[in-house]
Homo-oligomer: A and B are copies of this chain.
């Protein structure tokens, strides 16, 4: 049986997402079973665009949904979006994989994406809008079952 790693991805920031996906893809490439449980701001990482999902949302939900894969802020030195732009340039110049690259790799390595149903409800994210990306919609108890058998558990 393979060793398991489970990550709760709560944060919706570019730098934390890159850290999470670097760890996840490296683990999966070295033959571990990896699951990521996306909750709260972490769900923003999965959204291709901030616009695809507005049909189901009220105005407050729209405001909490302004971020998407290519628009994530930095956790430090965000500077109204200048920080992420600089970080991406720097990563490109030093030959580091982008978040988008890491996410394609994650799918190829069969990393399991679980979206937190409660957070989806609060943020007004429909199953349809995330269906292409997410493997499972589930609650905290489903995450805990995965985590109990995991050698590595991280909350990011």
A→B interface (CB under 8 Å): 3, 5, 8, 10-12, 15-16, 19, 22-23, 26-27, 29-30, 32, 39-41, 60-61, 63-64, 73, 75-77, 86-87, 89-91, 94-96, 118, 121-122, 139-141, 143-144, 147-148, 150-156
Q: How many copies of this chain does the complex contain?
A: 3
Contact flag A32-B144 (CB < 8 Å), given A19-B40, A60-B86, A60-B90: yes
Asked whether, in the complex, the Cβ of B86 is within 8 Å of the Cβ of A63, the reply is yes
Residues of B within 8 A of A19 (CB): 8, 10, 39-40
Residues of B within 8 A of A41 (CB): 15, 75-76
Q: How far is the CB of A117 from chain B (nearest CB, A)?
A: 11
